[in-house]
């Protein structure tokens, strides 16, 4: 049993939230239930409840008032701490307590480390310093965490004070002559717990503060900008607000000791303030270094200013950090290498970031690979998806309703990116396509699309029965169904989008279009399955990203949307159009001939070679996106002829990226799949 003192404060409240999520037993009495200055009562309480760890969050932290109430400050911050440490020693249990950057005088001029000499200049600082010394003398199994400028979801803090000023004042003056780092209670709690759970842990003093430093003025200005304050923000000094010159001017704590021990980087204070204020949204983008995921990252950073993207990618053959190299330099992006099947890793992400949306791109996605090795598809696409949802459910749940269903935090959603292949195969009714006539309601919105065609009477709608035909599509179908099951069983907030074949920049060269482009430039044969008459619906990747964004932002939970391209075409015609487009560009713009490894004259249909058809090759896919068009106003804006030329030009201009991803295992795989067919 863990005892948390000061149970009503913002740090103790954060501990309670954390322990509840992790099913850890605790008691958190408030001051009325347990006054830590009543030494005998504290002893009886600890013995009665058989506490095996004490975390002291109680403190006297009214800096100015402490100058007038010295006895109270010393009693709570020093002598009560000594008593708690003594009882813990007698019980042979560990003791955790929190101190402050105010134990330093602020004259060093650089970050304070744990070994620096303390020299407090206020009663508050001196009382905390004495509490440190007495605790360490009384109990060698003591952890002391010095923290600075703490803020959390409960209690009073500087952020709440600034928000109050913003609502009541036409001008606000804030001190510029006090510098430290704001620290989130989330970071304090999570890091404390990690330290406590180290196998080889050292007792003593640790500095724990948010990364980055700021003045109170800059912090206040940052908060006011985020809440849309339109008044004047004035520079002041600490003595403008108090008659006591007792605050250290520079008291930034160095957290390098903790960061080195745990091999972590404590988040920047700005990101934690944004989470606190709920400014913008925080997205967990799984598979964000892959083709569609990386393009989504690029799209979102361009479209939205106030967002945070946490990219999780295992960096398998199709995931490449080079694809998002520039985006990783953006302060709005954090990258985590890892597997969505790793429960602990995903939990740590949710602990570190207040995730609003999970956008699940992570998947094994190539049909040929699924035929060769179906097991990995089941693990990633099914179990990985379930793991993500289970962690999200745990962290988003705040209680239960009267029927026992979970109640979730507002504004949370799990977006699952799926495929049209879950529907199986459509019949190909005509060898020569017919005009596709759009529904009147769709035509009014999709005004930019003309000369559309189709190869069959029917198209996939959201009500089409699921009928997968390959290990890949079966694994995606199963993942769709487990997502829907969570929605039904737990009322879990989700959306599913099912897309047609994507194409565009950064596509790994195992898929049809990038493979064709790469082979044409090298003068290699172009492997085409069967007769090349299989029909696919082609969707430009940035159109897809826009659709996902609109569904996340605007769709009701539990809705499923088909996102298609209005671009039905036979594979052989795709190959021929790509050959023709590259040949034309090479003739019209000779500078591009520098990337050729063959003569321009060789770029013709003779490169096409027909290979043995894929096992279970579906005849036709075609998506009807009527629902997403009419409900959300999205439509695929890019005609295929424009999109394919833009894609080809991107590949011509980015040969370095092609070389970076096309090596080793990819070349071996290519030979295995195509050379013997």
Which one, of 248, 206, 315, lies nearest residue 102 by Cα? 248
Is residue 154 annotated as part of the catalytic site, yes or no? Answer: no
Which one, of 54, 51, 65, 56, lies nearest residue 11 by Cα? 56
Strand pairing report for 204-207 and 281-286:
unpaired
Ranges assigned E (strand) in 84-151: 94-100, 142-147, 150-151
Give dist(CA 62, CA 73) in Å, integer: 9
Give dist(CA 106, CA 123) in Å, integer: 15
Which structure tokens are listed for 636? 């695929």
Which structure tokens are listed for 385? 């998806």
Q: How far is CA 176 from CA 61, 234, 239, 251, 273, in A?
A: 21, 10, 11, 13, 19
Other CB atoms within 10 A of residue 635 CB: 25
Instruction: Write down the catalytic residue from 472, 592, 621, 635.
Output: 472
Looking at the DSSP assignment, which residues form a beta bridge with residue 604?
none
Sequence-distant (6+) residues with CB within 8 A of 88 are 46, 54, 94, 95, 139, 141, 142
Is residue 105 annotated as part of the catalytic site, yes or no? Answer: no
Instruction: Write down the catalytic residue from 190, 339, 364, 421.
Output: 421
Is residue 357 annotated as part of the catalytic site, yes or no? Answer: no
Instruction: Write down the catalytic residue from 420, 480, 549, 568.
Output: 420
Give dist(CA 260, CA 506) in Å, integer: 36
Task: Please name the residue that has the structure tokens 């409900």.
Answer: 631
DSSP reduced 3-state for 67: coil
DSSP reduced 3-state for 589: coil
Sequence-distant (6+) residues with CB within 8 A of 339 are 314, 345, 380, 384
Q: How far is CA 443 from CA 210, 266, 301, 450, 457, in A?
A: 53, 51, 30, 10, 18
Other CB atoms within 10 A of residue 588 CB: 8
Ranges assigned E (strand) in 475-583: 494-499, 501-503, 526-529, 535-540, 560-563, 568-570
Residue 429: φ, ψ to 5°: -90, -20
| 8-state DSSP, 381 | I
Other CB atoms within 10 A of residue 265 CB: 11
Report the catalytic residues.
420-421, 472
């Amino acid at each position: 049993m863990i005892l948390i003192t000061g149970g009503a404060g913002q740090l103790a409240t954060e501990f309670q939230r954390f322990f509840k999520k992790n099913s850890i037993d605790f008691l958190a009495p408030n001051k009325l239930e347990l006054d830590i200055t009543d030494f005998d009562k504290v002893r009886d309480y600890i013995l009665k409840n058989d506490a095996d760890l004490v975390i002291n969050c109680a403190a006297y932290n009214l800096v100015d008032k402490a100058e007038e109430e010295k006895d109270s400050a010393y009693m709570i911050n020093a002598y009560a701490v000594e008593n708690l440490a003594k009882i813990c020693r007698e019980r042979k249990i560990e003791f955790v307590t929190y101190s402050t950057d105010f134990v330093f005088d602020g004259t060093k001029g650089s970050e304070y480390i744990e070994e620096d000499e303390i020299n407090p200049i206020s009663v508050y600082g001196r009382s905390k310093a004495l509490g440190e010394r007495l605790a360490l003398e009384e109990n060698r199994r003591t952890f002391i965490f010095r923290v600075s400028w703490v803020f959390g979801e409960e209690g009073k803090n500087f952020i709440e004070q600034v928000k109050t000023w913003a609502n009541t004042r036409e001008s606000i003056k804030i001190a510029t002559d006090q510098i430290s780092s704001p620290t989130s209670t989330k970071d304090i709690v999570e890091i404390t717990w990690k330290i406590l759970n180290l196998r080889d842990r050292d007792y003593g003093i640790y500095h724990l503060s948010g990364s980055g430093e700021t003045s109170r003025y800059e912090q206040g200005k940052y908060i006011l900008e985020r809440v849309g304050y339109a008044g004047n923000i004035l520079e002041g000094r600490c003595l403008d607000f108090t008659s006591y010159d007792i605050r250290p001017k520079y008291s930034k704590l160095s957290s390098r000791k903790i960061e080195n021990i745990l091999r972590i980087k404590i988040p920047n204070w700005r990101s934690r303030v944004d989470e606190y204020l709920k400014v913008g949204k925080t997205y967990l983008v799984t598979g964000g270094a892959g083709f569609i995921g990386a393009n989504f990252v690029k799209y979102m950073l361009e479209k939205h200013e106030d967002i945070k993207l946490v990219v999780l990618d295992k960096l398998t053959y199709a995931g490449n950090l080079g694809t998002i190299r520039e985006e990783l330099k953006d302060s709005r992006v954090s990258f985590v290498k890892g597997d969505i099947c790793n429960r602990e890793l995903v939990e740590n992400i949710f602990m570190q970031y207040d995730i609003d949306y999970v956008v699940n791109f992570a998947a094994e996605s190539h049909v040929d690979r699924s035929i060769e090795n179906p097991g990995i598809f089941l693990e990633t696409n099914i179990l990985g998806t379930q793991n993500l949802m289970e962690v999200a459910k745990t962290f988003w749940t705040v209680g239960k309703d009267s029927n026992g269903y979970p109640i979730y935090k507002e504004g949370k959603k799990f977006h699952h990116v799926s495929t049209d292949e879950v529907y199986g195969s459509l019949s190909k009714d005509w060898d020569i396509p017919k005009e596709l006539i759009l529904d009147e309601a769709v035509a009014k919105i999709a005004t930019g699309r003309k000369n559309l065609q189709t190869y069959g009477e029917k198209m996939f709608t959201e009500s089409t029965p699921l009928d997968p035909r390959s290990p890949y599509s079966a694994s995606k179908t199963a993942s769709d169904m487990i997502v829907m099951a969570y929605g039904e069983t737990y009322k879990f907030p989700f959306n599913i989008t099912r897309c047609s074949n994507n194409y565009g920049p950064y596509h790994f060269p195992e898929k049809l279009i990038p493979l064709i482009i790469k082979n044409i430039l090298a003068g290699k044969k172009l492997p085409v399955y069967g007769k090349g008459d299989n029909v696919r619906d082609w969707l430009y990747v940035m159109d897809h990203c826009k659709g996902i964004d609109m569904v996340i932002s605007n769709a009701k939970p539990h809705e499923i949307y088909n996102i298609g391209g209005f671009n039905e075409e036979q594979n052989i015609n795709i190959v021929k159009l790509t050959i023709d487009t590259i040949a034309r560009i090479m003739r019209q713009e000779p500078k591009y001939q520098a990337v050729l490894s063959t003569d321009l004259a060789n770029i013709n249909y003779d490169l096409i070679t027909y290979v043995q058809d894929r096992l279970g090759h579906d005849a036709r896919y075609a998506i009807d996106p009527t629902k997403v068009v009419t409900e959300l106003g999205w439509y695929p804006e890019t005609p295929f002829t424009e999109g394919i030329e833009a894609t080809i030009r991107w590949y011509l201009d980015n040969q370095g990226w092609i070389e970076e991803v096309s090596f080793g295992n990819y070349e071996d795989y290519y030979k295995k799949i195509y050379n013997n067919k």
